Structure 1
Amino acid sequence: MSAPSPAFPPVSGWLIRVSEVFGDLTADVVGRTGATSSTPLGSEYHLLKGTDLAAIRGSDVGHFIRWNMPVHHSWPCNPQKTDSFIEKAAQALFRKFGQLPLQAILVGQLDPSSPNKYYKTLASNLRGRTLQLFPNVGKIEVEDQDPAAPTLFCLVGPEGLFCGVQSPRDANGFHPGGTRYISQNAPGTISRAGAKIAEALHYLRLHRPPLAAGSHWLELGASPGGMTSELLKRGHRVTAVDRAPLDPRLDKASGLTFSRADVATFQPPTGESYDAFLSDLNGSARDSIGYIIRLSSHLRKGGLVVFTLKTSDATTVEAVNELYQSVTAHAKAVGLNRFATTHLTYNRQEFTLFFERTKA
């Protein structure tokens, strides 16, 4: 007779993250999750009571929830004023989670944008000490996790420590709190848009393998070329389309074909097909998805679409939802099925949507 599986601690609440750029809508978003009560934590997190992942996903505001975590353990305290905080916290985590089949233990900050480095250092030190106590959990790279396997996520800040076990896919990110932060200040960076597509491609690993080097992307609205440059660095081929020129640093770049044309009328060469489409166009989201739909016959079956849904003109949750649902429905009608949505670090009032072409 096999031994019973180790029991998870009970869930005392649900931690969700709603990006600050949606600040005017946050109260409405939180109110639609089905929670009976909520407590703000840090600048973007909310501790919910009386709801769960199924209720959050079943609500009409799931796309606003950048990241989420069941709270299996919490320690409300001020870590800076708590003697031996790291040791006490690590020992408590081992007592509660030490027998669970965890693939990783990850610790982050409740306020990752804070200029105060104390909690970043505290999170790193807490993770290091905790890993010493868990003999069967190694220090693996964050994005080497199995998206479907359980990870112990922890967030720490002035409000205390909050921890839970969940797969990265269910949490909607490999990292505690969401996807990977990528600096936009690296030498040779053309624009911050390069960081957006880099983060989007890291996020994509939650749902499907990365596209192979040499894959052919069609990028709509490419100027000045921040995203183009990032794709080329990863070994992809890019056909970039824009009425405006690309940055001169991309002149004669290997793997790049530039078409100085209006996206609305651009037509690929006869017989040309692509592995992926990329659209970060400004302007109407309905127009932007219309361009994708018009060109969709040139996307291979199983091909990927990375689409930025701009919502700056939608000032209520209802308006954002209507736009989101309309774009998704129009895409689905031509065989482009949305399989994931997130809000990236460099996104503003916008979401990044991921579609896959299911029709030949």
Structure 2
Amino acid sequence: MTTELQWRRTWKPDLRACPWQQMEIDGNTYLIKSRFTEDSYEVMLTDLTVVWLEQLAEGAVKKRIKKLNPSVEAQVTKILDHIQSNLETPSRDTELSVGFTTSADSGDADTEKMRLTVSSKLAGMPFLWHFNGEPVAKEVVSEHLTFPLLAMVGEMFRRQEELIKVIFSKDKEIADYKSQGVKTSRKHYETIPFDETAFRHNMVTSVGFEGQVRSLGVGAFAETGQDLYHDIMTKHAWLNRSPSTGEGTDSLSDETSLDQPIPSSAGTSWGNRLPPSLAQVSPKISPQKSPQKSPTKSPGGRSTPEDSPAKDTELLRRKALEKRLLEEEAKKESKAKKKKKIAF
């Protein structure tokens, strides 16, 4: 039977596992997530009201390159590397703008198409790219934003309670030291016993609380929040894996039209794992294939989201997680052996 540790080593993350990032464009705040492969990409953008998505395969990417940059001659992989770099870490030469268009036969704001324009320079020459996003279904919004955020809030509450327990234990330890006449080497090192009620009251009346409310919580996707989002979506994928199918992924079809988006990957619905009160508002989502590519590095040497974020902190965090999982597996095996010895 495949263990979680073994599964993690072969699992290829899809767009759902890519965390959201905050982006300021034209004075407005957006959340964006993306997944690039050697010859395709998926980009999702939201203004917290509507979520737009564009997915393009190699054939459609080539057509758009010829249309927007007819004088550019380079491998698709290198051009996608350039686009990804300017989207995720814009340079001084990068200009971003967002526009919206509504179909003539529909005045519904939910049917607005989004165009994210990225103007940059490639090898010293002007380079233009358009991301043409279509509004996604409500089920996709739930999969990528609503339920992951609920899971993040629930996990943060759990961690807060664990930290409060640790603080109370530390207070008992400090009280024991003081009873034995131990004193701190510096007066300002002294702390008063933790008061949970006062702490919660101070948090609600603090300036920081007002700032969070004003920002509508976009700070949830700071670096720490991105790590938590990725961890939650990875655990969700493990819990809802299909033992009867392989862990491999499909790639985008090269015959995808220029601007026609591919149905977004939905996977197993979060609604199946929520309390009935929440599950009722989340329609069941039928599993769909997620566009994927097997390579984890682009030829240009830049990391793709399949191993993102490729930072030292992420690597250390994953190693620590693997170590903990191994220890838990060893403990389970040890307990099983003891039970066998005791059994008559």
- TM score, norm. by length of structure 2: 0.21
Q: Give the structure with the larger helix fraction.
A: 2
Q: Which has the higher contact order (CA 8 A, sep 6+)?
A: 2
